[in-house]
């Protein structure tokens, strides 16, 4: 079964509808009334994202991203498509800001490396602080 290109096939439901089976369509619009908020607030100056170390700990403990339902929750309750889109966009926007910040840090480090004595650069190593102390990472 594929979606029809004719405008004569129309289903209007005033209330809830339960459909057993798949729904195929060319377009789907989810109205804002079905979920709470769009994550543009991520770009406000005062927004504080969760530190990556906390995100890592959460993933290790729970097996999924913070703010996202687990596989068990989805299997039991399903998902609200509009809310899930907003949650995924929030995560994407936070990750984008984190990547921008990391790019700035990398550029600063690379600029700083130009002032290092030549012998240090040839070793091709840099120190990265980790939760368990310090370790040496090869970056080239």
Q: Which residue range(s) make up the domain with 110?
A: 40-128
Q: How confident is the model at residue 28 (pLDDT cuts 50, 70, 90)?
A: confident
- Please check whether residue 28 lies inside any domain of the structure: no
pTM: 0.68
Helices (H), ranges, the chain = 52-62, 71-77, 81-113, 118-123
pLDDT digits (tens, 9 = 90+) for 99-114: 999 999 998 988 887 7
The answer for residues whose C-beta is within 8 angstroms of residue 1's C-beta and 6 or more apart is 24
- Please check whether residue 25 lies inside any domain of the structure: no
Q: How many domains does the chain have?
A: 1
Radius of gyration of the chain (CA): 23
pLDDT digits (tens, 9 = 90+) for 40-82: 899 999 999 899 999 999 999 999 999 999 999 999 999 988 8
Average pLDDT, the chain: 81
* Residue length of the chain: 140
Task: Determine the Cα–Cα distance for residues 136 and 116; give it in Å rounded to an integer.
Answer: 17
Matching residue, tokens 């949650």: 87
- Please check whether residue 31 lies inside any domain of the structure: no
- Please check whether residue 4 lies inside any domain of the structure: no
- Predicted local distance difference test score (pLDDT) of residue 51: 92
- Please check whether residue 78 lies inside any domain of the structure: yes
- The tokens for 66 are 């913070």
Q: What are phi and psi of 95, to 5 degrees?
A: -65, -40
- Please check whether residue 116 lies inside any domain of the structure: yes
- Please check whether residue 72 lies inside any domain of the structure: yes
Q: What are phi and psi of 61, to 5 degrees?
A: -80, -40
- Please check whether residue 123 lies inside any domain of the structure: yes
């Amino acid at each position: 079964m594929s979606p029809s290109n004719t405008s004569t096939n129309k289903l209007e439901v005033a209330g809830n509808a339960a459909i057993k089976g798949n729904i195929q369509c060319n377009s789907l619009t989810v109205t804002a009334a079905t979920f709470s908020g769009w994550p543009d607030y991520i770009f406000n100056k005062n927004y504080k994202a969760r530190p990556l170390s906390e995100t890592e700990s959460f993933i290790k403990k729970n097996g999924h991203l913070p703010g996202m339902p687990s596989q068990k929750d989805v299997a039991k309750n399903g998902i609200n498509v509009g809310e899930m889109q907003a949650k995924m966009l929030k995560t994407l926007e936070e990750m984008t800001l984190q990547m921008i910040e990391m790019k700035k840090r990398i550029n600063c480090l690379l600029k700083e490396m130009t002032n290092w004595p030549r012998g240090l650069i040839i070793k091709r190593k840099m120190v990265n602080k980790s939760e368990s102390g310090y370790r040496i990472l090869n970056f080239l």
